[in-house]
Amino acid sequence: MELNQIYAPIQDDLSRVKDTLKSISRIDFAWLADQLSYVVRETGKGIRPALTLLSAKSYRYDLAYLLPMAVSVELMHTATLVHDDAIDKARTRRGQATINSVWGDEIAVLLGDYLFAKAGEFVADTQTPRVIKLFSQTLATISSGEIGQFRGAYNIDQKRQDYFRRVYGKTASLFSLSTQSGAVLAHAPEAAVAVMKEYGDNLGIAFQIVDDILDFTSTEEAMGKPVGSDLTQGTLTLPAMMLAERHPDANPVRKLFRTRDRRYVDEAIEMVLNSTIVPDCYQVAAEYARDACRNLKSIPDTESRQALMDLADFVVGQGTE
Amino acid sequence: MELNQIYAPIQDDLSRVKDTLKSISRIDFAWLADQLSYVVRETGKGIRPALTLLSAKSYRYDLAYLLPMAVSVELMHTATLVHDDAIDKARTRRGQATINSVWGDEIAVLLGDYLFAKAGEFVADTQTPRVIKLFSQTLATISSGEIGQFRGAYNIDQKRQDYFRRVYGKTASLFSLSTQSGAVLAHAPEAAVAVMKEYGDNLGIAFQIVDDILDFTSTEEAMGKPVGSDLTQGTLTLPAMMLAERHPDANPVRKLFRTRDRRYVDEAIEMVLNSTIVPDCYQVAAEYARDACRNLKSIPDTESRQALMDLADFVVGQGTE
């Protein structure tokens, strides 16, 4: 199933989210307008705002609160990407030059701050202290997780538990904010909010595992950034971890992390592709996607509930077509 | 008058703000705890949280809301300093090595994000959408102002208006948030909120002008950072602007901005000190301090109102002892 089919129940509202995102670049300062329109251009999947809207759709769906929330989660996501790219010295993202590569690291830091601020303005418009607090807690989780990732870079001795904690921090926490906030703002019963949290937590982990697989199996053209980026930056993801587990001695990831010689990246990718690691990782992702949907049957049987299930299938199907 | 005398009406509560700030470093992640305790160590003047508390003191003063707000404004201030130092490649701040110089730019960016997030958590605890929105708008103003400053660096052709807009963005906007939020959270009448806003706006500008003067007149020991930092970073402040106005041709600031040769910094400092520019700038700061207090007489005559007046005197008295 294609994303636009899955998004059918909220397609019009998602367009309004995108229009609102574009509108933030209409500001007084010409210099900032250029950079803002560059970062909010329409290229992402919009999965986070879609989660907010879909999680609310079975309940009291009021765009006056849901639209600012959906805009807010996407802006927070964008802000973290802008900072991450500056930190990672990434040159391309979604097939385009990164902010830091076009305008420099300093502008990337400040533009990211501005985007966090705008995300904060939109979440304030929900007038709902509970989701505002959750929003800030999520940002704290994301940034402390990134610090953990940065400090753990080039460390081969990480455990699965470290990986999953990192993945929760960098991706699942924001998925979880997206779903929970939708349910809370639509006045869903607490039990349903918990189901949406569980969905967001698990879908986020599944999503990140697949993203980590694609860094080995995809092409630069399809991903919009170089393959092997994680290894090059010293980030130990699940496929690399499995490779290290299966070849405790003399594996290319260990050599790469010791020498930082880029040719070991190609060697590691080849070894991963010539093993069962890729299907094994998809298996782990599929388990998380299943866990995401486990309790969805307890919420009303609507087309948006079906969309959440289809979205879980979509996430773990990426790269397997 | 010393600051601790001025702070007398709120001294105990200000200590609680500082204790709360220190408590944020007690977290699960050992690596982050080191850096957090480093940034929240007790060395600042605490002027922003003091403004929040003093602005509330004449009304319904409830620490349940005011304490998180006061903590929040100080955390936002700290976060912006951490990012600014990374952007400016500053080596020292308040006499200590900066985060970026100890742990690197990447950690500084992420730690700043974490501090923004914590500031957001505290402001959410006020449960007051109006101040939460104002908080986010202020962060947007600060970061867009910093982008303006960065892009305007080494540009000699700036007008007074550009300078005052920059000063509003980098300093006065947060002073204004501090005072307004105190008044709003204490349920002050709207007219009093407006008076506090006016006070914060104007005091912030006075404060920054004095800070800009001290960059010429003070010592590295007293400031905790090298003198002439602004000029070195290409930031055109009021003293440098007056120098450029008085010597339109062949002035050292113009040469500095063109060549970036550090010896012109010393020459510019010497020319400023051998002119009436320093007292003239103090004069401008004093006018803003007077404007800050202009309408304070309309609020209840309490010791905290007197403290706000004394604080205005203190701000424009810095460096003149």
Nearest alpha carbon to residue B54 among B318, B319, B315, B302:
B302
With tokens 């002439």, the residue in question is: B228
Task: Tell me if B64 is assigned to some domain.
Answer: yes
Strands B92-93 and B96-97, bridge-based pairing: antiparallel
CA-to-CA distance for B321 and B316, rounded, in angstroms?
Answer: 11
CA-to-CA distance for B321 and A62, rounded, in angstroms?
Answer: 60
Q: Does the pLDDT of residue A277 top 70, yes or no?
A: yes
Task: Give the number of domains in chain A.
Answer: 1
Q: Does the pLDDT of residue A266 top 90, yes or no?
A: yes
Task: Tell me if B319 is assigned to some domain.
Answer: no
Residue A39 has what pLDDT?
A: 81
**Closest approach of chain B CAs to the CA of A83, in angstroms?**
7
Task: Tell me if B208 is assigned to some domain.
Answer: yes
Nearest to A136 among B27, B117, B137 (CB): B117
Residues A259-287 have a mean pLDDT of: 95
Do the chains contact at A150 and B110, CB–CB below 8 Å?
A: yes
Nearest to B113 among A29, A32, A83 (CB): A83
**Closest approach of chain B CAs to the CA of A271, in angstroms?**
31
With tokens 């949907």, the residue in question is: A293
Range(s) of the domain holding residue A271: 3-317
CA-to-CA distance for A56 and A64, rounded, in angstroms?
Answer: 12
Task: Tell me if B113 is assigned to some domain.
Answer: yes
Which sign, positive or negative, has the C-alpha torsion B230, B234, B238, B244? Answer: positive
Nearest alpha carbon to residue A27 among A105, A115, A112:
A115
Do the chains contact at B139 and A116, CB–CB below 8 Å?
A: yes
Q: What is the CATH number of the domain that holds B182?
A: 1.10.600.10
Which residue of chain B comes nearest to A115, CA vs CA? B140
Do the chains contact at B118 and A133, CB–CB below 8 Å?
A: no
The ipTM is 0.92
Do the chains contact at B111 and A151, CB–CB below 8 Å?
A: no
Which residues of A touch chain B, with CB atoms under 8 Å apart? 27, 29, 31-32, 80, 83, 86-87, 105-107, 109-114, 116-121, 123-125, 127, 129, 132-133, 135-140, 142-144, 146-148, 150-151
Poorest-confidence range of A33-37, A107-111, A196-200, A291-295? Answer: A33-37
Task: Tell me if B316 is assigned to some domain.
Answer: no
CA-to-CA distance for B56 and B299, rounded, in angstroms?
Answer: 11
CA-to-CA distance for A317 and A320, rounded, in angstroms?
Answer: 5
Residues A90-108 have a mean pLDDT of: 89
Nearest to A124 among B114, B119, B136 (CB): B136
CA-to-CA distance for A8 and A37, rounded, in angstroms?
Answer: 26
Which tens digits make up the pLDDT trace of A22-71?
888 887 666 778 888 888 776 678 999 999 999 999 999 999 999 999 99
In chain B, residues with a C-beta closer than 8 Å to the C-beta of A83 are: 109-110, 113
Q: CA A179, A182, A184 angle in degrees (round to 5)? A: 105
Q: Contact, B236 vs B155, CB < 8 A?
A: yes
Using CB atoms within 10 A of its CB, is residue B274 exposed (0-12), middle (13-18) or buried (19+)?
exposed
Nearest alpha carbon to residue A202 among A159, A230, A164, A162:
A164
**CA B254 to the chain's CA centroid:** 27
- State the Cα torsion B167-B173-B175-B177 to the nearest 10°: 180
Nearest alpha carbon to residue B212 among B199, B198, B223, B221:
B223
**Closest approach of chain B CAs to the CA of A296, in angstroms?**
30
With tokens 């995102």, the residue in question is: A21
Give me the DSSP letters along A236-298: --HHHHHHHHH--SS-HHHHHHHH--THHHHHHHHHHHTSSHHHHHHHHHHHHHHHHHTTGGG
List chain B pLDDT tens, one digit each, 321 residues: 899 999 999 999 999 999 999 888 887 666 778 888 888 776 678 999 999 999 999 999 999 999 999 999 999 999 999 999 999 898 988 888 899 999 999 999 999 999 999 999 999 999 999 999 999 999 999 998 898 888 889 999 899 999 999 999 999 999 999 999 999 999 999 999 999 999 999 999 999 999 999 999 998 888 888 889 999 999 999 999 999 999 888 789 999 999 999 899 999 999 999 999 999 999 999 999 999 999 999 999 999 999 999 999 999 999 886
Of the residues A147, A155, A170, the best mutation for testing chain B's interface (the one with the most B CB atoms within 10 Å of its CB) is: A147
